[in-house]
Amino acid sequence: MHIEPGVVDGAKLALSYATAALSFGLVAKMVRDDLASSKTPIGLAARSVMTTSLVFSFFEILPHHPVGVSEVHLILGSTLFLMFGAGAASIGLALGLLLQGLFFAPFDLPQYGMNVTTLIVPLFGLSRIANHMIPRKTAYVDVRYRDALALSTTYQGGIVAWVAFWALYGHGFSADNLGNVAAFGAAYMLVVVVEPLIDLAVLAAAKSWRTATDNHLFSDRLHHAAG
């Protein structure tokens, strides 16, 4: 989902600074909500270190291929949310993306505002939908396939929508640009097929290994109903 250099440039980059500021505001809200339901802020800090490390690894290790206007990544946003909570997931996405740019892809730093927006805003939408869709009495380890599919579709669909927005904002509605946007969207939707299966596999492992995952290193909601 990286916005490539040159897709948006010049004065148009100003909009990305504004959307990045909005995204950091959403991160702050998700962190505040997590702290309100956490037993200790140390737990959120530990989870954030874990999510940052995982996101950095996802960007550097997992396969990613250029398609159309961007690259297709397996980011596992819904997996991070279910395992670690929205606050830690949002911090991990923002910091993991920044570290990847600083150490391995400095040419991506001018696009950081666009890329962090593309990751964070869909995560916030996913967290809102999860609150309404998953009953409060249901622990995340007990979510159904259709719930995991809905969360993945929300997140990946949000990413595709933002990438399309940046591409059209930067290069307009030419036939070539529209074709590249469509190719990216079609490729990215394949992730929707894979991610729910990964979610369920990870949740099943967490359920089996409850002694190792029912602690402050993971979201309290992973094994417990909402308070």
Is residue 58 within 8 Å of 74, Cβ to Cβ?
Answer: yes
Among 34-38, 55-59, 165-169, 219-223, which stretch is predicted with the lowest mean pLDDT? 34-38
Query: What's the CATH fold of domain 10-222?
Result: Arp2/3 complex 21 kDa subunit ARPC3 (1.10.1760)
Q: How confident is the model at residue 40 (pLDDT cuts 50, 70, 90)?
A: confident
Q: How many CA atoms lie within 13 A of 126 on its CB side?
A: 31
Against a cut of 0.85, is the pTM above it? yes
* Residue 39 pLDDT: 65
Please tell me whether residue 64 adopts helix, strand or coil conformation.
strand
The residue assigned the tokens 């909601």 is 221
* Residue 59 pLDDT: 87
What does the radius of gyration of the chain's CA atoms come to, in whole angstroms? 17
Q: What is the pLDDT of residues 8-28, one digit of tens each?
A: 988 999 999 999 999 999 999
Which residues, including other chains, have CB under 8 Å from residue 179's CB and lie 6 or more apart?
68
Residue 88 has pLDDT above 90, yes or no: yes
Q: What is the pLDDT of residues 103-122, one digit of tens each?
A: 988 888 999 999 999 999 99
Structure tokens at 102: 């600083």
Is residue 216 within 8 Å of 39, Cβ to Cβ?
Answer: yes
Q: Sign of the C-alpha dihedral, residues 123, 129, 132, 133?
A: negative
Q: 194 φ, ψ to 5°?
A: -85, -45
Among 32-41, 42-51, 150-159, 175-184, which stretch is predicted with the lowest mean pLDDT? 32-41
Q: Average pLDDT in the 85-109 region?
A: 93
Each domain of the chain, given as residue ranges in start order, spans: 10-222
Q: How confident is the model at residue 45 (pLDDT cuts 50, 70, 90)?
A: very high
Structure tokens at 131: 């609150």
Bridge partners of 67? 70
Bridge partners of 81? none
Q: How confident is the model at residue 190 (pLDDT cuts 50, 70, 90)?
A: confident
* Residue 178 pLDDT: 93
Nearest-5° Cα angle at 192, 27 to 183:
100
Q: Average pLDDT in the 118-143 region?
A: 95
* DSSP symbols for 78-103: HHHHHHH-HHHHHHHHHHHHHHHHHH
Among 71-80, 140-149, 198-207, which stretch is predicted with the lowest mean pLDDT? 71-80
The span from the first CA to the last CA of the chain, in angstroms, equals 35
